[in-house]
Structure 1
Amino acid sequence: MPAQGSTGNVIAAIASFFIPGLGQLIQGRVLKAIIMFVAATALWFVLLGWIIHLWSIIDAAVFKGASST
Structure 2
Amino acid sequence: MAGQGSGGNVIAAICNVFFPGLGQLVQGRLLAALIFAVICVGGYALWWLVIPAVLAAIVQLWSIIDAAKYRSSD
TM over 0.5: yes
Per-residue Cα deviation, 1:16-67 (whole angstroms, up to 9, x for no partner): 110000000000000100000001111222322101110110000000111x
Which protein is richer in helix relative to its size? 2
Residue 57 of structure 1: aligned partner: 64
RMSD, aligned α-carbons:
0.9
1:47 aligns with 2:53: yes
* Pairwise CA distance, 1:3: 1.2
Identity level (%): 51
Which segments of structure 1 move beyond 2 Å, counting only runs of 4 or more?
Answer: none
- 5+ residue gaps, structure 2, are 47-51
The secondary structure found in structure 2 opposite 1:57 is helix
The normalised TM-score by structure 1 is 0.90
- The number of residue pairs the alignment matches comes to 67
